Amino acid sequence: MPKRIVIIGAHAAGVDAASAARKTDRTAEITLITEEKNAGYSRCGLPFVIGGQIPNFTDLIVFPPSYYQIMKLNLKAETKATKIDTGKKTVETIDKTGKKEEIPYDSLIIATGASAFTPPIKGKEKQGILPLRTLEDGQRIDQAVKKGAKTAVIMGAGLIGLETAVALQERGLKVTVVEMLPQILPAMLDADFAKIVQEMLEQKGIEILLGKPVEEFLGTDKVTGIVAGGEQINADLFISAFGVRANTQLAAEAGIALGETKAIKTNARMETSIKDVYAVGDCAESTHIVTQKPAVPQLGTVAVRQGKVAGINAAGGYSLFTGVLGSAVTQLYDMQVGVTGLTEAAAQRARIETVTGTIASKTKADYYPGALPIKVKLVVERESQRVIGAQIMGGEEVTQRINAISFAIQKQMTVRELAKADTAYAPPLCETWEPIVLAAEMVLMKLR
């Protein structure tokens, strides 16, 4: 009898799990369940459709309906999984017509993702607080702009918040970003780098208010303004970018253990506390490679890698997920910003004593036309001299440098070894001295 694999969730983690399962077992019956109308699209691309760089929201659909047919995947869209019975090994569902079904499984993969959340702020039940998580969310924001919104308030200065702020400013809106913490991109950058990004955004005309928590939503039925840090701000459009919370209710109700991050606890094979049940993506807990503590980075790259591991294992293969560094990049106007491993602040919280080295350089030979600035910060553990993190910002060539340092951290490279790296040079492509190497030398000077 063919193996029955059921996957709850059909985005990055879920669809990649299904693909990996199919490649591992050609005969398995694989069912994907999603509440959304569209499966397998890129959430990361939403701000860039709003900004106009990508023409349509439908362009974000990575896996068209034909893909599921070719891969023999049974996709149940607009269908909600209501209960998991791990004793009977079934998933109960209800579709948009109200039809209920009980689907049996041999292996179950939970890829329920995360949802945008708004903290318990006075007036949060009012209409007009728009998150940006789904295609429909993106379309609602786009419609508001087309209907003539002139001003927008973004609540939260994380990645999605700032990418959306840039998108709306590029569409001609006057944008204000409100953040309760004392810096932007608090999970991604240290204060010194965050300040540079903030100054660039402010030069482009985005107003950024730091250290101002949102205290109240104003308006009768629909939000017309907010009170943040005692100050009233009115606008036509209000974007909730407070963050996301892992969707764990279904798992918790089924008796599946949650970890200390409140996401679903998993091991290196992405198995949960219950046999034959796996969890992947934004709802699953992982291990941070540097600290060896639980982490939930909620990144698309992590989701697809975890999905692949769980899909192989669920189909009877063997695969391991070795942990996360939280490597991430973004582009805000002409500035690329990237991070991998721990920031100086995160290392401090993990009680790791660090030394840092920061260098400003160019992306081509200084005399070559079009050379753009680049700035590298390395974070090194003082005692072992191991590289444990990096932040890079510049006009180009940020991603592959972040990737290179990610390899270095995973291979437990010391800063001394990194300083001896054999790097390439050509005037139109890079400087004779690689900025990463110069940053490593700065650290070595401090260690001496």
44 is a catalytic site residue: yes
Q: How far apart are CA 84 and CA 175, in angstroms?
A: 44
Q: Which residues of 414-447 are buried (b: 16+ CB within 10 A; e: fewer)?
A: bbeebbeeeeeeeeeebbeebbbbbbbbbbbeee
Q: Identify the structural domains of the chain with CATH numbers, from first to last.
A: 4-115+245-314 (3.50.50.60), 118-242 (3.50.50.60), 328-447 (3.50.50.60)
DSSP calls for 329-374: EEEETTEEEEEEE--HHHHHHTT--EEEEEEEEESS-TTSTT--EE
Strand partners, 362: 373
**How far apart are the C-alpha atoms of 224 and 149, rounded to whole Å?**
12
Tell me phi and psi for residue 70, to 5 degrees: -60, -40
Dist CA 182 CA 235 (whole Å): 23
In tens digits, what is the pLDDT along the chain, a chain of 448 residues?
A: 999 999 999 999 999 999 999 999 999 999 999 999 999 999 999 999 999 999 999 999 999 999 999 999 999 999 999 999 999 999 999 999 999 999 999 999 999 999 999 999 999 999 999 999 999 999 999 999 999 999 999 999 999 999 999 999 999 999 999 999 999 999 999 999 999 999 999 999 999 999 999 999 999 899 999 999 899 999 999 999 999 999 999 999 999 999 999 999 999 999 999 999 999 999 999 999 999 999 999 999 999 999 999 999 999 999 999 999 999 999 999 999 999 999 999 999 999 999 999 999 999 999 999 999 999 999 999 999 999 999 999 999 999 999 999 999 999 999 999 999 999 999 999 999 999 999 999 999 999 8
pLDDT for the residue 149: 94
Give the pLDDT of residue 54. Answer: 96
Give the Cα separation of 160 and 282 in Å (integer): 15
SS3 285: coil
pLDDT value, residue 254: 96
Report yes or no: 178 and 167 within 8 Å, Cβ to Cβ: no
**By three-state DSSP, how is residue 321 classified?**
coil
- Which is catalytic among the residues 36, 44, 61, 404? 44
**Which residues, in sequence order, are CB contacts of 43 under 8 Å at separation 6+?**
11, 12, 60, 133, 134, 300
- Residue closest to 33 by CA, chosen among 91, 107, 85: 91
Instruction: Find the angle CA(392)-CA(398)-CA(142) to the nearest 5 degrees.
Output: 100
Q: Could you tell me if 227 and 209 are in contact, meaning their C-beta atoms sit under 8 angstroms apart?
A: no
Distance, CA of 412 to chain centre: 24
**Contacts for 110 with CB less than 8 Å, ≥ 6 apart:** 8, 9, 84, 250, 251, 256, 264, 272, 277, 278, 279, 280, 283, 284
Lookup result for tokens 């920061």: 358
> Do 277 and 7 contact (CB within 8 A), yes or no?
no
